[in-house]
Amino acid sequence: MPFALGDINLLATNLHDWNAKGRIIVIFHGDAAYLILNDQSYDANRHVACGNPYKKVLNEVMAKGVELELCGATARSQHWGNANLIPGVKVNINAMARVTELEQDGFTMIYQ
């Protein structure tokens, strides 16, 4: 599992276990966007036949309330639509606009 996914899972677990208020929104874009593909699309994109090995942890963090989003510009450039994604992943307009919007709403970006 990529290091950042482990951190997201830990942060989501801490928020849940400590009954803390907060939202975690993860925006995938560029070269990392393939992580949120469903099994069939993951296999086609990565030229493998194993399914998406990250799907389990991504579903676990979504079950803990983490919101996953895909950059719309990345989706367009890769010709991906909702049918290519793990169920529950949302597509935004583009990552930079979304990050700006979230920061204006009081969110803090955590760099990894």
Domains and CATH numbers, the chain: 3-15+24-104 (3.40.1260.10)
The pLDDT of residue 2 is above 80: no
Could you give the 3-state DSSP secondary structure of residue 16? Answer: helix
The model's pLDDT over 86-98, given as tens digits with 9 standing for 90+, comes to 999 999 999 999 9
Amino acid at 47: H
What's the pLDDT band for 84 if we cut at 50, 70, 90? very high
Q: By mean pLDDT, which of 4-18, 41-55, 61-75, 83-97 is the weakest?
A: 4-18
pLDDT tens profile 6-39: 788 888 888 888 988 889 999 999 999 999 999 9
Using CA atoms, how far apart are residues 94 and 74, in angstroms rounded to an integer?
8
Q: What are the distances in angstroms from CA 72 to CA 10, 69, 85, 92?
A: 27, 9, 12, 5
Is the per-residue pLDDT at 77 higher than 90? Answer: yes
The model's pTM is 0.89
Q: pLDDT band for position 112 (50/70/90)? A: low
What gap in Å lies between CA 11 and CA 76, rounded to an integer?
30
